[in-house]
């Protein structure tokens, strides 16, 4: 019984992007400044070496960054902040409105959470809370008050 698989396997496939993006191809130049692409075995080894250097460099550069989250979000005025601190740094939480005006700033210190924050005097809308580590902004997230 033939389901047509053998005929499909015998058909040549065409990929117009294979020459552009293949790491196994080597680019050489001619005298008239046009480029010819030729397969090269040496290029494969160079590609693998470059890839290994890039991966090992990116692994060395990865740093653990502190993060801040607020819940419940959207909120009905009472918000809890949870912090994942890293190291002995000075942490602050800054709440600002959509145009960037700072509404409040809270010192966190080394605790992993702040006491619940009451924002009942603020009108409903979208606000932003930012984590500052040693007075440098690390991350900013959106907070919705209902």
> 2-33 pLDDT, tens per residue?
555 555 555 555 555 555 555 555 555 555 55
Q: What does the DSSP 8-state code read for residue 113?
A: B
Q: What does each C-alpha distance from 39 to 16, 25, 30, 44, 60 come to in angstroms?
A: 16, 4, 16, 9, 33
Contact 65, 138 (CB under 8 A): yes
Strands of 1-146, DSSP E: 25-29, 35-39, 67-71, 78-84, 91-96, 102-107, 117-118, 125-133, 136-145
Distance between CA atoms of residues 141 and 95, nearest Å: 10
pLDDT score recorded for residue 22: 52
- More reliable by pLDDT, 32 or 125: 125
pLDDT score recorded for residue 20: 53
Domains in the chain and their CATH numbers? 67-145 (2.60.40.1930)
Contact 28, 43 (CB under 8 A): no
Range with lowest mean pLDDT among 86-90, 95-99, 141-145:
86-90
Q: Residue 66 — pLDDT band, cuts 50, 70, 90? A: confident
């Amino acid at each position: 019984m033939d389901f047509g698989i053998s005929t499909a396997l015998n058909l040549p496939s065409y990929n117009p992007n294979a020459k552009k993006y293949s790491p196994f191809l080597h680019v050489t130049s001619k005298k008239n400044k046009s480029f010819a692409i030729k397969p090269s075995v040496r290029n494969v080894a160079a590609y693998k070496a470059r890839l290994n250097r890039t991966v090992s460099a990116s692994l060395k550069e990865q740093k653990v960054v502190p993060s801040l989250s607020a819940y419940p979000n959207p909120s009905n005025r009472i918000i809890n902040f949870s912090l994942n601190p890293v190291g002995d740094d000075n942490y602050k939480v800054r709440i600002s409105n959509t145009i960037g005006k700072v509404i409040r700033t809270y010192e966190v210190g080394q605790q992993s959470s702040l006491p619940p924050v009451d924002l009942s005097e603020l009108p409903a809308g979208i606000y932003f809370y930012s984590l500052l580590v040693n007075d440098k902004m690390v991350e900013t997230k959106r907070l919705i008050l209902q």
